[in-house]
Amino acid sequence: MYNINIETKETLTKALLAYYQTLSDGDLTTLAALMTKDSYITLLTALGFKRSFKDPEFRELLKTSSNSDAALSIVEAVLSDDLKQEKQQHRIELLSFEPKGRDRITVNYQEDGHLKKVYFAKHNEQWHIDYNAGRKTA
């Protein structure tokens, strides 16, 4: 079993808290820096899901946002405005850190009293939220 040093725990804690703060602020530029590209696109898709049902033009932009920088910019601007209007605040309480190898860690926490997990992976010597890091590897 791998040990997680205090510096890494602090880094992951700051990243998790920044994740929620940037969502609340609608700061998708900072959010993108906290996540892997695939995880970021997955998050944008989830955030835009409701809007895509009401707006067919937005739905098409959302579908092409992973391959088109122009579409991605528009999607980010629309979702950023939506998030700023919602301005949700969450109470986050960290519970534990689980090493999943040298370069993967699961952080268990509570969001407003609900148990949650977030997966981190180390890419180019930096920790990023990586939804795929929670998957089992062969």
Q: Where are the domains of the chain?
A: 6-20+90-134, 24-86
pLDDT in tens, the chain (138 residues): 678 889 999 999 999 999 999 999 999 999 999 999 999 999 999 999 999 999 999 999 999 998 999 999 999 999 999 999 888 888 999 999 999 888 999 999 999 999 999 999 999 899 999 988 776 654
Report field, pTM of the whole predicted structure over 0.85: yes
Task: Please count the other Cβ atoms lying within 10 Å of the Cβ belonging to residue 81.
Answer: 11
**Could you give the 3-state DSSP secondary structure of residue 137?**
coil
Answer for the pair 118, 35: CB distance below 8 angstroms, yes or no: no
Amino acid at 120: F
